[in-house]
Structure 1
Amino acid sequence: MAKIHTVASNTKGSPDWYKRLFAWMMAHGNAKYEEEIADRKRALFAQLHSNVLEIGPGTGPNLSYYPSDIHWIGIEPNPFMHPYIQQEAERLGLDIDLRSGTAEHLEVEDNSMDAVVSTLVLCSVNNLAAVLQEVIRVLKPGGHFFFLEHVAAPQGTMLRRIQHGIKPLWKTLGDGCHPDRETWLALENARFEQVDYQHFRANLPAIVSPQIIGIAVKKG
């Protein structure tokens, strides 16, 4: 299984040994993906400023793309991810506010964030619609949701059938990850004023190679 997932929900009910192992895998298994995706992330995060909330930051691979003057809050439910995030923040000289919690119930005030960030998280949350409504709730009017997620392959393709067939096993091994989730449709159906994204294929095992990247804007 490709080790590319950060998790915003499902680690809460997992045993400590699994959470510790998953955190180690995220810290040591993603270098190739991060190198490939660096230019896309750099372009995506160029607009970040002021108050930024990241859901499921994992071991902190996105921190290096953020300007040093933002106020960063991270909601990460796996406590074994926290030392990796803190170490990365210290390396970069960033002052961070790292909290436990889940993406379905963000302990953040209404209309308080200029931006929310999610990368490789929405595949694993228990209730995607609820997460997107929480994102909208905490964003300021006109605030931006930046996302980069692996998604379902096109309907009718062999890859889509494989994704669907392997899902029960994949969810178990990947801590709740859905390889065939149509995340772009959930984004379109949420109450954002505007959703702009593009599909692309990452140089990864086929199951997780279909991805989307984009920005959604809350109504002003």
Structure 2
Amino acid sequence: MTDTIIEARPAAGFVQHALRGPFNAAFFRAMEPYLSRSLGPRKERVFAGLPHAVVELGSGVGANLRYLPRGATLIAIEPNRHMHARLREAALRHGVHLELRADTAERIGLPDHSADVVISSLVLCTVHDVPATLAEVRRILRPGGTFRFVEHVAAGPGTPTRAVQRIVRRPWAWTFEGCSCERDLEGDLRAAGFESVDIERYRIRSPILPFNTHIAGVAHA
């Protein structure tokens, strides 16, 4: 049986929107098979060998639960409460114990040096303050711990993809909880003070052109 613990604290800086919240919960549930096919090879590599206790930023509807061993505990940082019911259902299906916190990634609320692994996918594009989020990740990681990520990023300057990312920036951000297609997350990760950062840049073939440029990798505390 999966244990579910819901933190009742409101997520500072996050607005529970009556339209966007339910839409994103339904959208990512419907898109999970497609996203799994597109991002699965990198996730399988980056999330391989996860331990029995993992912190995840922006767990959403539970797309990454399949990479945890059965019986593991996931501390899920997910401020969008409209995601929570689907996330709990997914945890039950995968046999994962769930500690669900409605905090934001900028204020994780866990003790210093309390985690061996933090993971994220398609999350750093949405946080309000990327440096503050990465500082929180470093704060809670034990020495030698890892932050494992699969994220979409800005395309190269002057490319058609970058032009489209710029054109759709405002409606895209409004629809997807502040998501930006134009962030240099590789630069942010390398500047965050980790001991080392291993990053692979790659492109997926998707008709959703602004979403096609990605990075995946591991940052070592």
Normalization by structure 2: what TM-score?
A: 0.90
Please give the secondary structure, in 2, of the residue aligned with 1:117.
Answer: strand
- Correspondence 1:206 to 2:209: yes
Query: What is the CA deviation profile of residues 51-108 of structure 1, one whole-angstrom value per residue up to 9, with x for unaligned ones?
Result: 3100101000100111124332001001111111111111112211111110000111
Query: What is the CA deviation profile of residues 115-158 of structure 1, one whole-angstrom value per residue up to 9, with x for unaligned ones?
Result: 00010000011100000000000000110000000000012222
Task: Give, in whole Å, the separation in 1 of the partners of 2:45 and 2:157.
Answer: 29
Structure 2 partner of 1:132: 134
- Correspondence 1:217 to 2:215: no
Please give the secondary structure, in 2, of the residue aligned with 1:191.
Answer: coil
1:10/1:126 contact within 8 Å kept: no
Whichever residue aligns with residue 22 of structure 1, its letter is: N
Q: Gapped runs of 5+ residues in structure 1?
A: 1-8
- Correspondence 1:20 to 2:13: no
How far the C-alpha of 1:10 sits from its partner, in A, is 9.7
Task: Give, in whole Å, the separation in 2 of the partners of 1:154 and 1:78.
Answer: 31
Aligned residues: 210
Please give the secondary structure, in 1, of the residue aligned with 2:103.
Answer: coil
Whichever residue aligns with residue 106 of structure 2, its letter is: E
Normalization by structure 1: what TM-score?
A: 0.90
Whichever residue aligns with residue 93 of structure 1, its letter is: G
Which runs of structure 2 are paired with 1:139-150 in the superposition (5 Å)?
A: 139-150=141-152
RMSD value over aligned CA atoms?
Answer: 1.7
Which runs of structure 2 are paired with 1:1-220 in the superposition (5 Å)?
A: 12-204=14-206, 205-218=208-221
- CA change 1:77–1:96 in 2 (3 A) is same
Q: Gapped runs of 5+ residues in structure 2?
A: 1-10
- CA change 1:84–1:207 in 2 (3 A) is same
